Structure 1
Amino acid sequence: MSASTSKPTHQRFSWSCHYGAAVQDDQRTRFTFWAPGLESVTLELSRSPNEAVESLAMKKGRDGDFTLDTECPAGAHYRYRISDELAVPDPAARAQHEDVTGPSVVVNPDAYAWQNVLWQGRPWHETVILEIHAGALGGFEGIRQRLQGWAAMGITAIELMPINEFPGARNWGYDGVLPYAVEASYGTPEQLKALIDQAHGLGLMVFLDVVYNHFGPDGNYLPHYAPDFFTGERTPWGDAIDFNQPQVKDFFIDNALMWLEEYRFDGLRFDAVHAIDNDAFLREMSERIKSGIGEMRHVHLMLENERNSASLLENAYTAQWNDDVHNVLHALLTGEHEGYYADYCDHATDKLASALHGGFIFQGQNDRRGHSRGEPSGHLSPTSFIAFLQNHDQVGNRAMGERLVSLVEQEKLEAATALLLLCPMIPMLFMGEEHGAKSPFLFFTDHRDELADAVREGRRSEFADFSHFKDEATRAKIPDPNAVSTFDQSVPPAPENDDPESAMWHTRYMTLLDIRHAEIVPRLPGTRPMGAVALGEGAVLAHWRMGDGTVLGIAVNLGDQRVSIDAPEGQRLYELGESDDAHTLAPGAVRACLSSHL
């Protein structure tokens, strides 16, 4: 079966995938299942909740595909019987009944009628991202209640952490096993489409975090019927996926196109592609997405990639999460130096200046383990990099899930926030950050029995080498990922108008985003870095030549001492901190100016 471009039919969109249950009309469905390790497969089908299960033999074709075209309406439940002992869900199911081990559900992509059918997205340079966890915000319906407020404050894109079906009802989503299925605890496929549709009506893009580098440990049946899906090698997260197999490539590329075409997502963030380590596949993914989408829509492809492969950002992918910027800012703000912060705490000010000028800090240098990492990135546009102070990883992978507002002096955090939102890199916030939430964001799962025990102990053992968690008694205080209370603590409170501190943070974000949209965004196309220098410990001054020829200068002091600085010239865009002396910059101070020359 070959994929086709999405075509609106009475304001409806769909994508024809190679695999899964494809509704042909109101009464018939075509099932396609790749099982090269089997000689026979039986479809077990219940056409309605009260109807008995019928067993239907599937036809084996070339390359291990099993197919069956039969009378079957949307809403039917089905599994594939692969042996006397085992019936499995469809790995390409669009929905599940009774979690990842239960039957799959036939979904009609045309069941939802889109309202904002003419939406074509927004240009990348207008992007301001808010990363959110759907479950922590009350599912798709809960998110819809917050959209208008985010749009009003200047957010232009929300990015959903993975929403594919995972074990249980509480999970970050990164150990899912059914990448096509919408997590039932968040809502239905139609409710997800309604969320995206409403966001588009408010001018908000919606991005999705997708995980193509591994499958989770619970509910992954692929090795039983498609051993060719894997290479036989092991990764830290499980069996390595064989992206050289045509069927495997189709499985993931179809998945990406389904989210973009059928659900109308405006972009995808590809999780941990350094674990894929196959740039040829990544380039093919990009090429086939662009070919499938066409040139009319703004669709943005983002990477998480510890390898800092600048070459992938030249023409294949839009941007990369810039962990280097986060890590050096975190080291400067908190003084932390354990784990991967060890790569950033020495000469941290010079490294921040390097990142503001050249994008990545690691552009081929050796890291603390002696491994060469990165490629030269100074030739790339600043908008090729997504900068952030916090995200799900950097908060949730802390033992106690603390946010920066609980770790850093307010003045310094305000200064770092101003740098984040006014510099030409694409800024990203993490849910709750926009109103100064102090609630933690913890690592949570919903596993059972032995796997729950293994996850709990594995989580605590991760911190055994950290000075604060050396003894077992202290590690035992790390929240149990499987406890309901761990999830409950991670739900950020709604903004409270009568909370002065929350209101202060909200106002500051709105002020900075107003400046960004009025003065920075229109000038971003064609922007190039001009240089960045250290002014003193924790203080830097950076300049960029904007697309219209003006020069943006930002000076920020995250250190503890006042530093000298030339009096800025031009239009003062923003100032924070003491300003009675134009030739010095106090701790926690920021100055942003726009001038016609340097």
Structure 2
Amino acid sequence: MKHAHSMPFGAELLEGGGVRFRIWAPDVPEVVLERLHGGTWQPTSMQRGDGGWHEHVSAEAAAGDRYRYRMPDDLRVPDPASRFNPDDVHGPSEVIDPRAHEWTDDAWTGRPWKEAVIYEMHVGAFTPEGTLAAAAQRLPWLASLGITVIELMPLADFPGRRNWGYDGVLPFAPDASYGTPADLKAFVDAAHGLGLMVLIDVVYNHFGPEGNYLHAYCPQFFNPAHQTPWGAAINFDGAHSRTVQDFFVHNALYWVEEYRFDGLRMDAIHAIRDASTPPIVEEVCAALHHGPGRHRQVHVVLENDLNEAHRLERDEEGSPLAGTAQWNDDLHHAAHVLLTGEGDGYYADYAQRPLEQFGLALAQGFIYTGQPSAFRSGEPRGEPCDHLPLAAFVSFLQTHDQVGNRAQGDRIDALADPARLMAARACVLMSPHTPMLFMGEEYGASTPFQYFCDFGPELAAAVTAGRREEFGGFSAFAGDTAQMQIPDPNSEATFAASKLDESERVLPDHAEVLGQVRALLRLRQAELVPRFGAGTRIHQWSCEGDALRIVWQLDEAHGGDAGSPAFLHVLANLGTAEAEVAWPPGRVIHRMGAQASEVGGASLVLPPGGVCATLEEAQDA
């Protein structure tokens, strides 16, 4: 089957042949379409219509043609809705036939969210080749490991050959450094064939600092009444905002319909300035949940520092009204302080009782649900969340942010005791939360993930200086000499150092981590996911010295008395000394370093990093 998403802008192939070109530029009296034909650029004045639209239909144009727009001041710009920009963000766009790919996944309807185990991937750093085609070759291995969701860091065309993806300026064009639109469709198609969902990270809070020409010819795209760290905010609530809103709603639908993604991860929605009704986040979610892709299960994961539980509400049937889930930074921060002892910056909010806060996060999701945040000068943060399903929280021990925003990009594996780290990871992977691994975490990768980019010379120098000044307040980087040790974001060596080294997987220490992660994911799939559902909630939790006891009530027992609940008990020693605790009831489903006490066997001895999990069902009572 062939799939395409029709849009009111950009270059659209017509059924009878030819291409319709359309661009929005309300203040521009004339836009000239330049199309490359026979090695020369052929100019054609576009017809100006109502509402600031400029349009031209060319019977001769076809898929594969290069084109660009010329403004009255001779500025030549790519199509802001370009489906592909093979020569990077400053070059011309290419007409793409969205129906060229022959999909093989017609039977694919997605997977329930309770089955989600997310793997965050940066395409460029995931393999030595750094391409979608190379990444697709590794998908069978990830599926066999127990991963069910690939979450791709942003693909929108960015300046240069390497970038985290959050500096994209052409939201509809997959970056050419990773491959072609056909390569991306083949990646998603292959993933679906293996039972893997694929999410794409999208950035609707800003455009990158290089290659965004909208400021020059379409200032209506921005609202100077709202200022952000990137300048004037994207215009979601001012004059002319309806067209801007449509641009991003179409972008969300485009990825789901034309590329058959299983949903989005929406970056930093707390940084979107929007007083419209409904706000753009809710409008995008509604379009995805109720649009043409509704015959499939489509999910939306939010990043939201405000901990706004209302964006995760469910309807009477348990379906999301807006976001399916949210990245749970609270859990990460508490775990990081607990495992490393670090308490600088935003970790200060978690420095006093990290074990208790880690337990609270596992029990209810957010830690901050309206309490004052010391890091935010006492401002209250968050909303009550204990009524939400636990699967609404994407929980993790590291992400691209939490690794890459460190000066050297070092992973938590380089900072924490391996046994205690594995115990915390076991708590996350066995929890009813939606667990996420950052690429390489499955085997404790030692390669860093550093901040890298490839800007033009003037901007590159400013970014390098800014990166080093950012860490100037830390004692470890005081002075010019120490700051020079911080990797240069624009150096190709910084990017190369951030690539995974797959050969590590067979080394003893890494193989041990991999074996533990594999066992936990198999346990989750076989024993826990079938018991997760609407009835899953916290039953009780407590800190017993440095040991954490969590008991979740699962759905009704399988094979037990009708209406009898099942309970998942997890005990983990996250301290540095041996702990003795009461033995949990039920059938042991996971043990790591835990031993029965020699006295009567009624208690459990947990060494540092020791874990014991049991499943208590009616027949076990």
TM-score of the two chains, using structure 1 as the length reference = 0.95
Residue in 1 that maps onto 2:327:
321
Offset at residue 497 of structure 1 (A): 5.9
Secondary structure of the 1:130 match is: strand
- 8 Å contact 2:567–2:617 — kept in the other structure? yes
Distance (Å, rounded) in 2 between the aligned partners of 1:272 and 1:182: 20
Q: Quick one: which of 35, 40, 53 aligns to 2:41?
A: 53
Residues 426-454 of structure 1: CA distance to partner in whole angstroms, max 9, x if unpaired? 11001111122101110000112110001
User: Partners in 1 of 2:576 and 2:341 — Cα distance?
Assistant: 12
One-letter amino acid of the structure 2 residue matched with residue 51 of structure 1 = G
TM-fit CA distance, 1:589: 1.1
Residue type of the partner of 1:16? S
* 1:77 alignment counterpart: 66
| 1:536 counterpart (530, 538, 545) | 545
Aligned to 1:293: 292
How many angstroms does 1:123 deviate by?
Answer: 0.7
Q: Deviations over 1:218-244 (max 9, x none)?
A: 011111222111111321123211112
Native 8 Å contact 1:215 1:238 kept in 2: no
Helix, strand or coil at the partner of 2:450: coil
For 1:573, give the aligned amino acid: I
2:253 to 251, 257, 260: 257
What's the offset of the Cα at 1:409?
1.1
Query: 1:544 and 1:495 mapped to 2: Cα distance?
Result: 38
TM-score by length of 2: 0.92
Distance 2:311 2:155 in 1: 26
The verdict on how the C-alpha distance between 1:235 and 1:497 changes in structure 2, with shifts beyond 3 A counting, is: closer
Identity of aligned residues (%): 47
Aligned partners of 2:334, 2:235: CA distance in 1, in Å? 35
Q: Structure 1 residues 497, 217: CA separation in 2 closer, same or farther (over 3 Å shift)?
A: closer
Letter in 2 for 1:240: A
Q: In 2, Cα distance between the equivalents of 1:187 and 1:557?
A: 46
For 2:555 and 2:231, locate their aligned partners in 1 and report how far apart those are by CA, in whole Å.
46
* Structure 1 residues without counterparts, runs of 5 or longer: 1-10
Aligned residues: CA RMSD: 1.5
Alignment match, 1:558 = 574
The match for 2:523 is 515
State the secondary structure of the residue aligned to 1:546.
strand
Q: Report deviation, 1:27.
A: 3.5
Following superposition of structure 1 onto structure 2, how do residues 99-110 of structure 1 map, counting pairs within 5 Å? 99-110=88-99
> Displacement, 1:455?
0.5
78 and 516 in structure 1: CA distance in 2 versus 1, 3 angstrom threshold: same
Residues 10-409 of structure 1 mapped to structure 2, 5 A cutoff: 11-25=1-15, 27-47=17-37, 50-71=38-59, 72-136=61-125, 137=127, 138-232=130-224, 233-244=226-237, 245-278=241-274, 280-314=279-313, 315-368=321-374, 369-409=377-417
Describe the superposition over 1:331-384 as per-residue Cα deviations: whole angstroms up to 9, x where unpaired: 100000111111111111221122122210110111122221111001001100
TM-superposed CA distance for 1:33, in Å, is 0.5
User: Which runs of 5 or more structure 2 residues have no equivalent in the other structure?
Assistant: 314-320, 557-564, 598-602
Tell me, in whole angstroms, the C-alpha distance in 2 between the residues paired with 1:353 and 1:496: 32
Whole-Å separation in 1 of the counterparts to 2:139 and 2:587: 33
What one-letter code is carried by the residue in structure 2 that aligns with 1:560?
T
Q: Is the contact made by 2:596 and 2:604 (CA closer than 8 Å) also made in structure 1?
A: no
Contact 1:495-1:502 within 8 A present in 2 as well: no
Aligned to 1:131, what secondary structure does the other structure show? strand
- The Cα offsets for residues 441-491 of structure 1, whole Å up to 9 and x where unpaired, read as 100001121100010011111112223222222111000000010000000
Of the structure 1 ranges 562-571 and 268-277, higher mean CA displacement relative to structure 2 is found in 562-571
CA deviations on 1:4-59 (whole Å, 9 max, x unpaired) are: xxxxxxx1100001211111147411111011121211111114xx3321111111
Does the C-alpha gap of structure 1 residues 63 and 326 become closer, same or farther in structure 2, counting only changes over 3 Å? same
CA contact (8 A) 1:435 1:495 kept: no
Correspondence for 1:479 among 466, 477, 487: 487
Alignment size in residue pairs: 585
Q: Is the 8 A contact 2:286 2:322 kept in 1?
A: yes
* Runs of 4+ residues deviating >6 angstroms: none
Per-residue CA deviations over 1:161-203 (Å, capped at 9, x if unaligned) read: 0011000001001011101001001000001100110111111
Q: Relative to structure 1, is the Cα distance of residues 178 and 465 closer, same or farther in structure 2, using a 3 angstrom cutoff? A: same
Match of 1:467 in 2: 475
Q: Distance in 2 between matches of 1:240 and 1:167?
A: 20
